[in-house]
């Protein structure tokens, strides 16, 4: 239903608003897309169509390639390259902005607003040395990641549709151009506020604070600007802490946590060389250009806090140092509490117990030392009923760790006795928390290679599995398997 309660709308009637573009020229530059030539449709996301109030019967509409490259614009669209800056690998870069993407506008449906953002739209005033394009490989990776995280309950941008083309695009080798329409509640990043702060455009910065608060914190609308700024910073700290906890709990490494890739509302944003853990490896670095491990898996919570510090510095034009410190001080307790809750759910523990944190930490140590597949272990544990010798679990752990695993299982059995839920109910809850299907790099690679050869069927299969990753999907066991040794640690380029 649309906001007026009418039936779903057609593609040609989708009406866009452009409140961000209306903020003024400081915030970006109106820019026409440069459509890819002869694009062909690869996939349309029916769930996202429904979010936007689009009639899913329109998934076969012949104009998807035109809309997904910008040769046709949705009604009311004002394409705009957004201006932002940001800290990249710890250094400030004043030159950033949408270099290959355009904000098309926003759709209002059922009281919610959704930005549509065309990625791979051609050059913009902020392209610097770039070609304004995205390649098929990275477009597919972004398309899948949004679904994989959302269905695991982690806030993320998603995408409406993807197209491919034959346009050659040079990366480490020659690839082909592709595009997607990214969908998010907002495209405002930490870097938007950094830009306005470092260029001393402080009235515009206040305007942006009010703009974000009006959308996400309506309860502070009309209050003095300091109060709005404080509410916004607290909100961003809270959402970012929840986000980091979520990533750590599902084994997701983002790979490029620069402040221009951090959403002000705590969505996972801008997918590059991300990776889901196969073996539980805390120091996992998914980006092969990240030589120091700045964005390693276990460094993420610390880096998110570093990024929040950078954001807080940009808010120092509005808030006293004491308040900034207090807002940032919320991060760690929120992170710990949220992570503990998520890990308890993975372990099937509905009640809180003092020993839970240690129980979890000890398990993670076994998984690390036993080179155990993270997702497979928790999925298998979801079926555990106290049997001995717990062969299914032992089979996942290297023999040198079998004895410590048995010790741990004895402690787990004792802990489960404190639970009130019947075992059957616990198992069901765990199976709805610990996915069978995970967006592993080797699977993404399989799908990408097929797509590069013109076969999009594997992409469709993986996409469907990731939209219901807790279901058994008999016949698709192959897609639930951990990689062989050669499928682990595939080098993932940060070029996109």
- Quick check: 52 and 160 in contact, CB under 8 A? yes
The partner in contact with residue 53, picked from ligand AMP, Mg ion, none with C-beta cut-offs of 5 to 8 angstroms by kind, is: none
Number of Cβ atoms within 10 Å of the Cβ of 399: 8
What's the closest the beta carbon of residue 145 comes to ligand AMP, in angstroms?
13
Rounded Cα–Cα distance for residues 377 and 392 (Å): 9
- Rounded-to-integer distance, Cα 181 and Cα 78, Å: 15
Question: How far, in Å, are 85, 261, 263, 320, 326 from residue 312 at the CA level?
Answer: 15, 16, 14, 10, 11
* Binder of ligand AMP out of 43, 83, 87, 133 (CB under 6 A): 133
Question: In angstroms, rounded to a whole number, what is the distance separating the alpha carbons of residues 440 and 480?
Answer: 9
Q: Is 92 helix (H, G, I), strand (E, B) or coil?
A: strand
- 29, 81 Cβ separation under 8 angstroms: yes
Token digits of residue 455: 């076969």
Tokens representing residue 224 in the block:
């003095």
Closer by beta carbon to ligand AMP, 99 or else 348: 99
Among 25, 30, 130, 460, binds ligand AMP (CB under 6 A): 130
User: What character string, x for contact with ligand AMP (CB under 6 A) and - otherwise, covers 73-102?
Assistant: -----------------------xxxxx--
Among the residue ranges 124-132, 141-149, 151-159, 305-313, the one whose residues contact ligand AMP (CB under 6 A): 124-132
Active-site pick, 98, 260, 267, 279: 260
Partner from Mg ion, ligand AMP, none binding residue 96, C-beta < 5-8 Å depending on class? ligand AMP
* Per rule CB under 6 A, count of chain residues that contact ligand AMP: 16
Considering CB distances under 5 to 8 angstroms, the limit depending on partner class, which of ligand AMP, Mg ion, none binds residue 496? ligand AMP
Instruction: Tell me which of Mg ion, ligand AMP, none is bound by residue 130, counting a contact when its beta carbon lies within the kind-specific cut-off of 5 to 8 angstroms.
Output: ligand AMP
Site mask, ligand AMP, residues 24-63, x = CB under 6 A? ----------------------------------------
* Residues engaged in binding Mg ion (CB under 5 A): 261, 270
Min dist CB 65 to ligand AMP, Å, is 20
Is residue 396 involved in binding ligand AMP (CB under 6 A)?
A: no
Q: Return the beta strands (E) in 45-111 as ranges.
A: 80-82, 86-88, 91-93, 101-109
Q: Spell out the residues 6+ positions from residue 455 whose beta carbon is closer than 8 angstroms to its own.
A: none
Piece of the chain touching ligand AMP by CB under 6 A; list 43-51, 123-131, 351-359, 452-460: 123-131
The distance from CA 135 to its chain's CA centroid, rounded to whole angstroms, is 19
Residue 127 makes contact with ligand AMP by CB under 6 A: yes
Taking the complex as a whole, the smallest distance from the CB of residue 137 to ligand AMP amounts, in Å, to 13
Q: Are 245 and 295 in contact (CB under 8 A)?
A: no
Residue number, 100 or 137, with CB nearest to ligand AMP? 100
Given a contact cutoff of 8 angstroms between Cβ atoms, the answer to whether 160 and 116 are in contact is yes
Q: How far apart are CA 387 and CA 399, in angstroms?
A: 18
Closest to Mg ion by CB, 106 or 270: 270
CB of 248 to ligand AMP, least distance (A): 22
User: Token pair for residue 152?
Assistant: 């695991």
Closest of 104, 87, 93, 159 to residue 126, by C-alpha: 93
326 included as an active-site residue: no
- The nearest distance, CB 34 to ligand AMP, in angstroms, is 11
Those residues with Cβ within 8 angstroms of residue 249's Cβ, 6 or more apart along the chain or in another chain: 339, 342, 343, 346
Q: How far is the CB of 260 from Mg ion (least distance, A)?
A: 5
Q: Report the helix count and the strand count for the chain, using DSSP H and E.
A: 16, 12
x/- track of binding to ligand AMP for residues 238-277 (CB under 6 A) = ------------------x----x--------x-x-----
Q: Which residues bind ligand AMP (CB under 6 A)?
A: 96-100, 126-127, 130-133, 256, 261, 270, 272, 496
């Amino acid at each position: 239903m649309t906001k007026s309660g009418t039936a779903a709308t057609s593609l040609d009637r989708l009406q866009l608003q452009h409140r961000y573009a209306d903020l003024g020229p400081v915030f970006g530059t109106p820019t026409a897309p440069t459509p890819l030539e002869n694009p062909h449709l690869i996939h349309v996301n029916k769930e996202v169509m429904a979010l936007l109030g689009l009639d899913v019967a329109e998934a076969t509409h012949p104009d998807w390639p035109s809309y997904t490259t910008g040769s046709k614009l949705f009604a009311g669209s004002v394409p705009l390259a957004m201006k932002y800056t940001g800290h990249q690998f710890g250094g400030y870069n004043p030159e950033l902005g949408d270099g290959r993407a355009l904000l098309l506008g926003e759709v209002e449906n059922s009281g919610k607003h959704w930005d549509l953002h065309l990625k791979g739209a051609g050059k913009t005033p902020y392209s610097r040395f770039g070609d304004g394009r995205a390649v098929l490989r990275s477009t597919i990776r972004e398309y899948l990641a949004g679904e994989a995280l959302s269905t695991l309950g982690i806030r993320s941008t998603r995408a409406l549709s993807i197209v491919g083309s034959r346009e050659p695009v040079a990366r480490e080798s020659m690839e082909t151009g592709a595009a997607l329409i990214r969908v998010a509640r907002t495209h405002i990043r930490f870097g938007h506020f950094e830009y306005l702060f470092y260029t001393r455009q402080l009235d515009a910065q206040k305007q942006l604070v009010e703009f974000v608060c009006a959308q996400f914190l309506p309860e502070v609308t009309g209050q003095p600007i300091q109060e709005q700024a404080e509410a916004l910073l607290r909100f961003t700290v809270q959402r970012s802490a929840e986000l980091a906890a979520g990533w750590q709990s599902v084994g997701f490494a983002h790979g490029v946590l620069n402040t221009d890739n951090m959403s002000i509302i705590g969505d996972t944003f801008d997918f590059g060389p991300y990776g889901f853990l196969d073996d539980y490896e805390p120091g996992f670095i998914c980006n092969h250009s990240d030589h120091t491990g700045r964005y390693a898996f276990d460094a993420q919570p610390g880096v998110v806090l570093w990024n929040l510090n950078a954001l807080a510095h940009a808010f120092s034009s509005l808030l006293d140092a004491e308040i900034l410190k207090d807002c940032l001080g919320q991060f760690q307790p929120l992170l710990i509490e949220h992570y503990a809750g998520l890990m308890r759910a993975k372990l099937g523990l509905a009640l809180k117990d003092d020993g839970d944190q240690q129980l979890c930490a000890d398990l993670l140590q076994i998984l690390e030392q036993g080179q155990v597949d993270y997702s497979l272990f928790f999925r298998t544990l979801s079926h555990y009923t106290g049997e001995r010798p717990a062969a299914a679990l032992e089979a996942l752990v290297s023999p040198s760790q079998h004895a410590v695993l048995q010790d741990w299982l004895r402690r787990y059995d004792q802990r489960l006795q404190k639970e009130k839920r019947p075992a059957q109910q616990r198992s069901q809850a765990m199976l709805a928390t610990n996915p069978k299907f995970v967006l592993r790099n080797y699977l993404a690679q399989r799908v990408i290679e097929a797509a590069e050869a013109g076969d999009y069927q594997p992409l469709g299969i993986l996409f469907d599995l990731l939209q219901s990753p807790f279901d058994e999907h008999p016949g698709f066991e192959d897609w639930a398997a951990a990689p062989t040794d050669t499928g682990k640690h595939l080098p993932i380029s940060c070029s996109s």
